[in-house]
């Protein structure tokens, strides 16, 4: 039986060499998608402006920056003005006899300036505010790192879903052609009913796989759209010829750990929180300290003396005000113990994060180093599968193989192509994650991966 129905093999997950009906079917499905093209760099830039999580992080940083001027304001002069006007009904007696008095009005106006001279909690609060602002800035940088990882993950996941759909459609074409050939062989008397049933069973399973693959494509595109705020059409795929399979630089895991220890925004944020918690202990202990303020006050009043209601006063006062706490029922001591416990919690949280970061760095470091070996091994597996397809076709034409053997060889090739695509995307994502964990510029990592995509 001629083998003209067999589809030429492919060297990479693409549409070249597909049956014309498969290409037309996929083209018709893609025609319903928006025509706006997108690469990884554009997706990242759009997500920085649109992603709700990123915008929330920016707003949180803006709010935290106000802690510094608020703490500084507590050490600056405080000026207040108060005024009051009252109606007074005064009753008086003299020698046991009531005296008639008419109601009268009184008023007072006070302008006061208070300048803190010594308030230990306020001094520590200013230093604490600087650490809290540093925490917010590091947290914002960490969110920028996370945004790059999330966008890269969503983009590569969308590419993988698209590749899987292409492979499923290609497998559908192989199976459909095999079913047609099996039916013709049965009519000609050289085939069996088992061949037809085998092909039909695979075709039915493939239809379910198509549905799942289309749903995954739709989901991953919508996920990317929710981050970028723009419709997603054609995605720039990974170009195997451009893709650089190289070990991470620096090449030693210890160097990455040292880099993360010094510049990782996650650790920097936790270090700032620890310093703020330690200063909170000093603030709590400052409740036992005296406070000293300079006070300047001018008071103007009239009819506020019940003895001489018609009198008026202008009082100018300059002085120092000392406040010495003596006993508060144990409240201050309790606050100190609470602050010590919070400081211990912040210290242990930092240590736990440092250990967890080391484990994650090791995982992503191995994901890059071993990903290079895995991609190269799967590239060889694809070449071997391609050779198996060619050999199976020749054996089929010679009569030593049946059509099921050829179909199994084709399916093995598609599985190898799928695994190769997954390995490439995981390698790229591991590179982005590794650089994000180490605290390097996320834009540089995104730009590097974007340079490995095919030009649109």
**φ and ψ at residue 80, rounded to 5 degrees:** -135, 145
Decide if 382 is inside a domain: yes
| pLDDT attached to residue 96 | 65
| pLDDT attached to residue 384 | 95
| pLDDT attached to residue 11 | 33
Q: Find tokens 């990974």 and name the residue.
A: 238
Q: Does the pLDDT at position 135 exceed 50?
A: yes
Percent of the chain at pLDDT exceeding 70: 89
The domain total for the chain is 1
| Cα 432 to Cα 43: distance, rounded to the nearest angstrom | 15
**φ and ψ at residue 408, rounded to 5 degrees:** -65, -40
Decide if 304 is inside a domain: no
Closest of 158, 312, 337 to residue 234, by C-alpha: 158
Q: Find tokens 């034409």 and name the residue.
A: 397
Q: How confident is the model at residue 317 (pLDDT cuts 50, 70, 90)?
A: very high
Per-residue model confidence as pLDDT tens digits over 393-404 = 888 777 777 777
| Cα 165 to Cα 206: distance, rounded to the nearest angstrom | 11
Q: How confident is the model at residue 244 (pLDDT cuts 50, 70, 90)?
A: confident
CB 450 within 8 A of CB 189: no
Closest of 376, 405, 381 to residue 392, by C-alpha: 405
CB atoms under 10 Å from CB of 178, counted, come to 23
Per-residue model confidence as pLDDT tens digits over 344-363 = 999 999 999 999 999 999 99
Q: Does the pLDDT at position 13 exceed 50?
A: no
Q: Does the pLDDT at position 20 exceed 90?
A: no
| pLDDT attached to residue 282 | 94
| pLDDT attached to residue 183 | 86
Decide if 294 is inside a domain: no
Residue 179 belongs to domain spanning: 20-76+120-289+333-450
Among 247-251, 272-276, 355-359, the range scoring the smallest mean pLDDT is 247-251
Q: How confident is the model at residue 200 (pLDDT cuts 50, 70, 90)?
A: confident
Decide if 425 is inside a domain: yes
Per-residue model confidence as pLDDT tens digits over 30-78 = 444 444 468 999 999 999 999 999 999 999 999 999 999 999 999 999 9
Q: What is the CATH number of the domain that holds 438?
A: 1.20.1600.10
Decide if 389 is inside a domain: yes
| pLDDT attached to residue 14 | 39
| Cα 346 to Cα 336: distance, rounded to the nearest angstrom | 15
Predicted TM-score (pTM) of the model is 0.79
Decide if 445 is inside a domain: yes
| pLDDT attached to residue 268 | 95
Closest of 454, 437, 456, 436 to residue 445, by C-alpha: 436
Q: How confident is the model at residue 306 (pLDDT cuts 50, 70, 90)?
A: low
Question: What's the order of all strands across the beta sheet hosting 104-118?
Answer: 78-88, 104-118, 291-302, 312-323
CB atoms under 10 Å from CB of 160, counted, come to 21
Q: Does the pLDDT at position 24 exceed 50?
A: no
| Cα 429 to Cα 449: distance, rounded to the nearest angstrom | 9
Q: Does the pLDDT at position 156 exceed 60?
A: yes
Mean pLDDT of 90-99: 70
CB 340 within 8 A of CB 280: no
Burial class (CB in 10 A: 0-12, 13-18, 19+), 51: buried
Decide if 137 is inside a domain: yes
* DSSP assigned state of 370: H
Mean pLDDT of 221-242: 91
Decide if 298 is inside a domain: no
Calculate ∠ Cα 391-168-12, nearest 5°: 55
Give the per-residue SS3 of 228-260.
HCCCCCCECCECCCCCCCCCCCCCCHHHHHHHH
Burial class (CB in 10 A: 0-12, 13-18, 19+), 332: middle
* DSSP assigned state of 292: E
Q: Does the pLDDT at position 253 exceed 70?
A: yes
**φ and ψ at residue 87, rounded to 5 degrees:** -100, 130
Q: How confident is the model at residue 195 (pLDDT cuts 50, 70, 90)?
A: confident
Query: CA-CA distances (angstroms) from residue 319 to 112, 198, 293, 449?
Result: 12, 101, 9, 68
The top-scoring range by mean pLDDT among 10-19, 164-173, 180-189 is 164-173
Q: End-to-end CA distance of the chain, in Å?
A: 42
| pLDDT attached to residue 37 | 67
- The rounded mean pLDDT for the chain is 86
Closest of 405, 444, 410, 456 to residue 171, by C-alpha: 410
CB 209 within 8 A of CB 170: no
Q: How do beta strands 104-118 and 291-302 pair?
A: antiparallel
């Amino acid at each position: 039986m001629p083998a003209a129905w067999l589809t030429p093999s492919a060297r990479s997950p693409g549409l070249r060499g597909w049956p014309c009906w498969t290409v037309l079917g996929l083209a018709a499905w893609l025609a319903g998608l928006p025509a706006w093209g997108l690469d990884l760099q554009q997706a990242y830039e759009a997500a920085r402006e649109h992603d709700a999580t990123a915008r929330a992080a920016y707003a949180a940083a803006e709010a935290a920056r106000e802690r510094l001027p608020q703490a500084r304001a507590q050490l600056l002069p405080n000026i207040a003005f108060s005024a009051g006007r009252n109606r007074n009904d005064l009753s008086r007696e003299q020698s046991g006899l009531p005296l008639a008095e008419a109601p009268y009005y009184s008023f007072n106006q006070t302008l006061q300036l208070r300048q803190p001279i010594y308030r230990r909690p306020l001094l520590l609060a200013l230093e604490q505010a600087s650490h809290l602002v540093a925490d917010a800035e590091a947290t914002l940088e960490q969110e920028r790192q996370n945004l790059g990882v999330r966008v890269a993950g969503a983009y590569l996941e969308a590419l993988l879903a698209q590749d899987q759909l292409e492979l499923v459609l290609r497998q559908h074409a192989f199976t459909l052609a095999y079913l047609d050939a099996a039916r013709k062989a049965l009519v000609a008397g050289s085939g069996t009913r088992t061949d037809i049933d085998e092909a039909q069973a695979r075709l039915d399973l493939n239809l379910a796989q198509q549905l799942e693959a289309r749903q995954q494509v739709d989901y991953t595109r919508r996920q990317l759209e929710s981050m970028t705020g723009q419709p997603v059409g054609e995605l720039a795929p990974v170009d195997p010829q451009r893709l650089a399979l190289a070990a991470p630089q620096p090449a030693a895991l210890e160097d990455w750990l040292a880099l993360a220890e010094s510049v990782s925004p996650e650790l920097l944020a936790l270090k700032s929180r620890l310093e703020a918690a330690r200063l909170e202990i000093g603030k709590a202990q400052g409740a036992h300290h005296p406070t000293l303020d300079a006070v300047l006050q001018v008071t103007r009043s009239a009819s506020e003396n019940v003895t001489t209601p018609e009198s008026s006063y202008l009082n100018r006062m300059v002085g120092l005000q000392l406040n010495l706490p003596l006993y508060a029922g144990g409240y201050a001591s309790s606050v100190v113990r609470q602050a010590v416990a919070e400081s211990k919690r912040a210290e242990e949280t930092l240590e736990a994060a440092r250990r967890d970061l080391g484990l994650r760095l090791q995982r992503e470091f191995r994901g890059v180093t071993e990903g290079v070996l895995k991609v190269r091994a799967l590239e060889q597996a694809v070449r071997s599968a391609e050779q198996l397809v060619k050999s199976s076709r020749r054996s089929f034409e010679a009569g030593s193989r049946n059509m099921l053997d050829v179909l199994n060889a084709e399916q093995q090739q598609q599985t190898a192509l799928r695994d190769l695509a997954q390995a490439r995307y995981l390698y790229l994502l591991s590179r982005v994650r590794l650089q994000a964990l180490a605290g390097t510029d996320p834009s540089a990592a995104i730009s590097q991966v974007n340079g490995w995509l095919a030009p649109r």
